[in-house]
Amino acid sequence: MLSALLDISKLDAGVVTPTVDDVPLGPLLRRLVAEFTPLAERKGLSLRLVSSTAVVRTDPDMLSRALMNLVSNAIRYTRQGGVLVGVRRESGGFRVEVVDTGVGIPPERQSEIFEEFRRLGTDADQKDRGFGLGLAIVERIARLLEHRLEVRSVPGRGSRFALHVPGGVVRTQTLVALPSRAVADRPGTGALLLVIENEAAIRDGMRAVLQSWGYTVLAAESGEAAMAALRHDGAWPAAVIADYHLDGCTGVDAIGHVRASFGTAIPALVITADRTPEVQQELATMGLPLLNKPVRPAQLRALLSHLLTAPAA
């Protein structure tokens, strides 16, 4: 909650400056859906993406943050059915939509949902309700980027949120370089990162994100598979990123296996949706940094930069 409030205060204070570029939506949306698919599946919901080759003019990090909040909100307030993410062409640009089959919003309350700490729903929803800050952040990002934000909803049938984004210029180099911001000035660019994740969709999404930042990536479903691939390639990873809940073991075990094999404490971090105190205590005891799902790309990028440039212990 404090992090979200800080984001809101920065947006309100006008200290956040967008970095606008021509951004292909396809890779951005694929990473978004891959990141939230496990959360949707745990609720028995579908999360589908209509693929798009659209190129838009926007700040990729801010647009990604806004869409993350919209998808998270859609999953939270949907009990059955699912969520659809897609893009529609319109005059002068594109409409990026997040559509759900959730509880819906009464017409007279649709303007309230963008206020801080405004949460709609019944007492039965209480355990799944957030802090009421996600849509407030979306509204501020949309206003800052001058992307019109639209909501249409029918109680009991669902909602559709849309961001109207201007079209960008299709360039060959743009189609293979996301996010758009240069990676040459970031520490660790080109380093080999080892990703250990047992969910194929998340593994592929993580690989796409890291490669787009200029890293070399080796991804595997377990510590054993990772070591087999590393031995085959004769490679030495600069850092390890592991999901906590793996098949038959934990990310802590997998990181320990890799470190033992190389005989050194290779920099590592753990990603998990498990927010229990026991997991947090275990990682703190092991000295392993923790990122909770859904992971914000900016947080991951900053933590990787720190791990790859910190002096060896």
- The confidence score (pLDDT) of residue 273 equals 84
**Has residue 47 got a pLDDT over 60?**
yes
CATH numbers and ranges of domains, the chain: 2-170 (3.30.565.10), 182-309 (3.40.50.2300)
In this structure, are residues 296 and 179 in contact, taking their beta carbons and an 8 Å threshold?
A: no
Question: What's the CA gap between 52 and 6, in Å, rounded?
Answer: 33
Q: Beta-strand (E) ranges in the chain?
A: 21-24, 46-49, 55-58, 82-90, 93-100, 148-154, 158-166, 192-196, 216-220, 239-243, 245-246, 249-250, 268-272, 290-292
Q: What is the pTM of this model?
A: 0.52
Residue type, 206: M
Consecutive H or E run containing 308:
helix 297-309
Question: What's the CA gap between 291 and 180, in Å, rounded?
Answer: 23
Do you find a cis peptide bond into 24, omega within 30 degrees of 0? no
Question: What's the CA gap between 218 and 192, in Å, rounded?
Answer: 7
Q: Residue 160: which pLDDT band, with cuts at 50, 70 and 90?
A: very high
**Has residue 306 got a pLDDT over 60?**
yes
CA-based nearest residue to 181, from 163, 268, 189: 189
- Give the tens place of pLDDT for each residue, 217-271: 888 888 888 888 777 766 788 899 999 988 888 899 889 888 888 778 889 999 9
- Give the tens place of pLDDT for each residue, 7-41: 545 555 565 677 888 888 888 888 888 888 888 98
User: 3-state class of 89 per DSSP?
Assistant: strand
Q: Is the dihedral of CA 84, 165, 8, 300 positive or negative?
A: positive
Mean pLDDT of the region 131-154: 82
Residue type, 151: V
- Give the tens place of pLDDT for each residue, 56-96: 999 888 898 889 889 988 998 899 999 999 999 998 899 99
